[in-house]
């Protein structure tokens, strides 16, 4: 199962690299971006390890949180709601000095969509 997620991560690296370099009419920019990569259900920040490494090598900042109850976060399941996830991500975004690229995988596509509604800029 972990191998499948590694392959998925490699595909995402490829897609990110296409996105980063997809504007040939624009002058090359040295400006780096901050990426917040949100894992899918049942996984954790480790899911993004290869993608994060690639982006960081390109000079970008990468934040890969463990949402409540996932990875190293030990929040009891009974204390977790969708609002818990949304508030956790809002706190991360609100702590950044500039705009971020927010990416959610699978289930957390729903979460990042809600966060984007609350922080459209």
Please state the rounded mean pLDDT for residues 61-87.
Answer: 94
> Could you tell me the residue ranges of all domains in the chain?
2-118
21, with CB counted inside 10 A (0-12, 13-18, 19+), is exposed
First and final C-alpha spacing in the chain: 36
Q: Is the pLDDT assigned to residue 118 strictly greater than 90?
A: yes
Q: Is 102 helix (H, G, I), strand (E, B) or coil?
A: strand
Please state the rounded mean pLDDT for residues 10-24.
Answer: 49
Which of residues 47 and 16 earns the better pLDDT score?
47
Q: Give percent of the chain with pLDDT exceeding 90.
A: 69
Q: Tell me which architecture the domain covering 2-118 has in CATH.
A: 3-Layer(aba) Sandwich (3.40)
Please state the rounded mean pLDDT for residues 102-107.
Answer: 94
Please state the rounded mean pLDDT for residues 61-83.
Answer: 94
Phi, psi of 26 (to 5 degrees): -85, 145
- Give the confidence band of 101 by pLDDT, cuts at 50, 70, 90: very high
pLDDT given at position 1: 55
47 contacts 108 by C-beta, under 8 angstroms: no
Please state the rounded mean pLDDT for residues 87-95.
Answer: 97
Phi, psi of 75 (to 5 degrees): -60, 130
Which of residues 1 and 99 earns the better pLDDT score?
99
- Closest to 65 in 3D by CA, of 87, 91, 36, 94: 36
């Amino acid at each position: 199962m972990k191998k499948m997620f590694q392959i998925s991560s490699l595909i995402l690296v490829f897609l990110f690299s296409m996105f980063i370099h997809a504007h040939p009419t624009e002058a090359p920019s040295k400006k780096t971006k901050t990426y917040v990569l949100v894992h899918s259900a049942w996984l954790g920040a480790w899911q993004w390890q290869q993608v994060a490494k690639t982006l960081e090598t390109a000079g970008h900042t990468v934040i890969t949180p463990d949402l409540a109850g996932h990875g190293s976060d030990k929040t009891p399941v009974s204390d977790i709601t969708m609002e818990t996830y949304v508030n956790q991500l809002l706190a991360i975004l609100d702590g950044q000095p500039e705009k971020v690229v927010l990416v959610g995988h699978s289930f957390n596509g729903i979460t990042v969509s809600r966060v984007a509604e609350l922080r459209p800029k």
